[in-house]
Amino acid sequence: MPGNHRFLEACRRRPVDRTPVWFMRQAGRIFPEFRALRERYDFVTLMQHPDLCAEITVMPVERLGVDAAILFADIMTPLAPMGVRYRIEQGVGPVVDEPIRQRRDVERLRRFDPREELSHVLEAVRLVRRALDGRVPLIGFAGAPFTLACYLIEGRPTREFTRARALMYREPELWHALMDVLADVVLAYLRAQVEAGAQAVQLFDSWVGGLGPLDYREFVLPYSRRIFAGLADTGVPRIHFGTGTAALLPLMAEAGPDVVGVDWRVELDRAWEAIGPDLGIQGNLDPAVLLGPFERVEERALDVLRRAGGRDGHIFNLGHGVLPDTPVDHLRRLVELVHGVTERR
């Protein structure tokens, strides 16, 4: 099997033989093999084992036929070496022991060298590249400063990040100091992933849709821009993803990625208009559709493809991560469907 480069080609808005497909959260919980691993290891232990992370990363490539692998890692990973203590609470998500409340808390956060302190993640990157052996490219990723800042300030996942937004307005200098250190850490982490072999990177600003455009411009954009600019010389495609971003898309495009990932709450054609024709677009099937019958999946997937209109630069994906009860077979058939209807000879 020759190397499949359609994902990287699409990121660069070049013609491809079929629209590439991958799924956020494709690695992990949907596979019985993963659930078996989870019975033997807790999440934190799993994350410490590069061989297991690599195995989990490669699984969907073989089982689903997707056109890219994405590193199996946790969005919170770079926070631990910064000095943040957190735990994963069942049914809640990450819970930070001492949320950021004042300047002292920000001053305690450490910049660090990911080649030393996250060497297990980088080792996983190398193992994945070896296991993939050029079949499909590997995407590295990191949570964006805003989303990480929300975790740090709120202490746990919340609906509207009110405390984080309040801190922005009450203590803008503290906010900027926090975003400054997070941007440096995220940039160094992503650069290290690329050095270790990641062939594209995705910056997940999952929660940024909680902000209005004025706030995004003032409190977030400078940091996203710094990260994308700081990756420019690596030459790898840079993807910027968030949810609930219908009104933020032009600003996310301004941040300087090559591709913008959009969620299911906005029509793909309108989203592409908003980000402009110079960028690629990734998305945007509602992951909840995959919990229904395949006829519904097909109907909605075809709608996404119709809105993409066969233009170069579309990467098919979900509008957010694969949900836990998603049938593996639906995902496999979805990959086939997208490849089948977009085949160009």
Q: Is-catalytic flag, 67?
A: no
149 binds a second copy (CB under 8 A): no
Residue with tokens 């590295």: 140
Which two three-digit tokens encode residue 333? 């058939």
Using a 10 angstrom Cβ sphere, with 0-12 exposed, 13-18 middle and 19 or more buried, the burial of residue 340 is: exposed
Residue pair 187/227 in contact (Cβ under 8 Å)? The answer is yes
Number of residues that bind a second copy (CB under 8 A): 39
Task: State residue 257 phi and psi, 5-degree precision.
Answer: -80, 175
Question: Looking at beta carbons only, is 109 or 290 nearer to a second copy?
Answer: 290
Extended strands (E) in the chain: 69-70, 86-89, 93-96, 138-143, 200-204, 238-241, 259-261, 280-285, 314-318
Rounded Cα–Cα distance for residues 170 and 147 (Å)? 19
**Residue from 85, 108, 270, 306 in contact with a second copy (CB under 8 A):** 270
Question: Closest CB to a second copy among 65 and 157?
Answer: 157
Nearer to a second copy, 91 or 235 (CB): 91
Q: Which candidate, 7, 62, 24, 23, places its Cα nearest to that of 334? A: 23
Determine whether 29 is an active site residue: yes
Among residues 89, 162, 229, 340, which is the contact residue for a second copy, using CB under 8 A?
A: 162
Name the residue nearer to a second copy (CB basis): 3 or 212.
Answer: 212
Residue from 140, 197, 210, 257 binding a second copy (CB under 8 A): 210
Q: By C-beta, is 18 or 320 nearer to a second copy?
A: 320
The reply to whether 242 sits near a second copy by the rule CB under 8 A is no
* Of 33-41, 140-148, 167-175, 330-338: span binding a second copy (CB under 8 A): 167-175
For residue 86, indicate whether it is catalytic: no
Minimum CB distance to a second copy, residue 99 (Å): 16
**Does 323 sit near a second copy (CB under 8 A)?**
yes
In angstroms, what is the minimal distance from the CB of 81 to a second copy?
28
Cα 181 from chain centre: 20
Give me the residue label for tokens 């801190």. Answer: 167
Minimum CB–partner distance for residue 296 and a second copy (Å): 5
The answer to whether 159 contacts a second copy (rule: CB under 8 A) is yes
Query: Binding of a second copy at residue 86 (CB under 8 A)?
Result: no
Annotated catalytic residue within 6, 18, 67, 74: 74
Spatial separation of the C-alpha atoms in residues 339 and 149, rounded to whole Å: 38
Q: How far is CA 87 from CA 98, 147, 151, 292, 318, in A?
A: 11, 17, 12, 33, 28
Q: One of 13, 67, 151, 216 is an active-site residue; which one?
A: 151
Q: How many residues does the chain have?
A: 345
**Residue whose tokens read 């979900």:** 318
Which residues are known catalytic residues? 25, 29, 38, 74, 151
* Contact set with a second copy (CB under 8 A): 157, 159-160, 162, 165-166, 168-170, 209-215, 244, 246-248, 264-267, 270, 286-289, 291-293, 296, 300, 303, 319-320, 323, 325
